[in-house]
A and B are shown apart, each in its own frame.
Chain A
Amino acid sequence: MGVLLEVNDLVTRFYTQEGIVYAVNGVSYTLNEGETLGIVGESGSGKSVHALSMLGLIPMPPGKIERGSVVFQGRDLVKLSKDEMRLVRGAEIAMIFQDPMTSLNPVLTVGTQLTEGLKLHLGMNQAQADRRAAELLDMVGIPDARKRLANYPHQFSGGMRQRVMIAIGLSCNPKLLIADEPTTALDVTIQAQIIELVKRLRDELKMAMIWITHDLGVVAGLADTIQVMYAGRIVERGPIRAVFDNPRSAYTLGLLNSLPRVDAEGGGGRLHQIEGSPPDMRIEPIGDSFAPRNPLYRTERCFTEIPPLRQVEDSVPGHLVAAWYDLPALRKQHEMEKSKHGN
């Protein structure tokens, strides 16, 4: 499979009245054709801003892409003009957002919003576009598709609106779908419906996907590759099994340990907690941004030097981590000390 997308050292900052916000601080990765990448991070981790930067959706000013390139099928998206970008967005790369109520236009019918892209990108006439729009609504599981084209967004439920968004996203057969927390606002039973739908469509249409979320569970069931972000950087990345079974960043480990599971007996013990709060993004990072919250494994170097993202030596190819410490060795050492104290 060929490389579809190559992000190189992307840096995005916001120049606000309260100072410079260091939102994305050098993000590099590649995405293959047909691959599903799950990007996990908390608010302020840069996961959404980096995606918006790729598509030229950052308000400028106050935002600014300082450096880096986003090469999609041989073209650098950062260098495209607004008009050129518009032809890529929606046609070759589609994006769906968290809140389907605010990302659909409330005063236009769903049919109008669906056919807009078809006419612009695929040059269809109204009749062709209407026919295709009905097919799309049918494909995402909206009953009575033909009639519902005349409805407005408020006439759909939350789950149905997200289906409409997906239909719009897929209308021009994109090579890449970027989904930014698309199920966060939905209930679990509706989330399960949407994820099943997206998985089916992804396999049918053979498109690549970037799924941005804070929910490690969703990524576990959906992605080929996981990328964990913290303070505008990738802290760990790799094939999904390798990262879940053998996490190498203290942040990934902390997140996995702090999650209670619906399939395992709870009861008794305290949850593992990550101390402190996420960093203030107005301070330019000079070291490992997670170091202040990582008393167990951090080293002196974590405070002074930014760790590069590198291949984990004794793991599968493509399992990368940005850390100065050797997590498995330190964990083993801690366990041995613990058992010594126990005896």
Chain B
Amino acid sequence: MEIKTATASQEVKQQREVILSVRGLKKYFPITSGIIVQRQVGAVKAVDSVDFDVYKGETLGLVGESGCGKSTTGRTVLQLYRPTAGSVQFEGEELTTLRGDELRRIRRRMQIIFQDPFASLNPRMTVGNIVSEPLIIHNVYNKKQRREFVEELLVKVGLNPFYINRYPHEFSGGQRQRIGIARALALNPSFIVADEPISALDVSIQAQVVNLLEDLQKELNLTYLFIAHDLSMVRHICDRVAVMYLGKIVEIGPTSMVYNNPLHPYTQSLLSAVPVPDPTVEEKRQRIILGGDVPSPANPPKGCNFNTRCPVAMDYCYQEPDPELLEIEPEHFVACHRVT
């Protein structure tokens, strides 16, 4: 029986094309001391050995609390931060060794949408200039073609092309996020990192932007790495989810498996902490309330990373090294001594 399911999952894996493959990715930020001569006295281990694959056409959710390294992971994947160690393969090409023009060429294929639609658009540029800037940098189309293409893009993201000469401050938050999406789509990428794209928006606008992202994904066969802390939205939009804690992935698997059968105690408490908009359900819900705060990534605890807050930690969780991700059921991986 076990062998059968293992082969079945292998077959599923073979059918899907891996677009992005991340192995042993680390990003440490140095902590320095001294005013004139700066010595490195430590490191913030923002991302500490992360492995995952993203399949073509899917949405992988990356969730976790602030400071867990989810945004840093997204940016390191895109080489906006150069990794301390590890490998990032995108469409078969190793990105970590690319430099200059080679890197710029590959960047056409991967883009980012930022969280804050106010800070991520230059207030002195018109919408047309913002959206056509990537086309100019990569020397795509002549001036007339560019304008037509930008108008097309604006229509695609649900904005009136009539607004092409307006400035960002003339738009609402939701509309600005649409401008950011149009800019990300300008070079026809295959992979987009969406870094908390809806958390700065009003509730009634969030659904609009999420629907737009889903429509565009279908239409353009896009692959998303969706970074978020809103676990309800992640359940709706993602095919698979990775849960991060203190720079590491503690659980990863298909969305329905992770949500219906969370195995890591951190995932369990995280899911139980999310409020549900239904008073009848809320009344009966049992919460697993975690004590304390996330430890500093400059000084992670000995043993399992999660042992300072874990409600089920045993002696060996403090003594043995941090657990590795292991496949518990097909495609569902967990890093926890208590589970494996």
Contact = CB atoms under 8 A, between A and B. Distances in A.
A125 B210 CA distance: 56
B313 interface: no
Interface residues of B, number: 47
Contacts of B2: none
B236 A188 contact: no
A157 B206 CA distance: 29
Contacts, number: 135
A217 interface: yes
B202 A270 contact: no
Contacts of A191: 273, 275
B274 to A, nearest CB: 4
B276 A217 contact: yes
Contacts of A262: 231-232, 235, 259, 271, 274, 276
Contacts of A272: 207
By secondary structure, the B interface counts as helix
B174 interface: yes
B101 interface: no
Sort A-B residue pairs by CB-CB distance and give the 4 closest, nearest first.
Answer: A217-B275, A260-B236, A266-B236, A221-B282
B310 to A, nearest CB: 12
A53 B337 CA distance: 54
Interface string B273-288: 1111111111101010
Contacts of A216: 203, 277
Interface string A277-297: 110000000000000010000
B66 interface: yes
Given A190-B293, A266-B237, A261 B273 contact: no
Interface of A: 42-43, 157, 159-160, 187-193, 195-196, 214-221, 240-241, 244-245, 254-256, 258-267, 270-275, 277-278, 293
Given A191-B273, A217-B276, A43 B204 contact: no
Nearest to B271: A262
Contacts of B256: 265, 267
A261 B259 CA distance: 11
A332 B179 CA distance: 38
B175 interface: yes
A217 B235 contact: no
A193 B229 CA distance: 17
A160 B291 CA distance: 11
B270, B271, B278 — most chain A CB neighbours (10 Å): B278
Contacts of B283: 221
Contact of A193 (B277, B281, B290, B294): B290
Contacts of B202: 42-43, 214, 278
B271 A187 contact: no
A273 B274 contact: no
A31 to B, nearest CB: 19
B160 interface: no
B78 to A, nearest CB: 25
Contact of A274 (B207, B231, B281, B293): B207
Contacts of A157: 293
A273 B207 contact: yes
B290 A189 contact: yes
Contacts of A188: 65, 229, 231, 270, 273-274
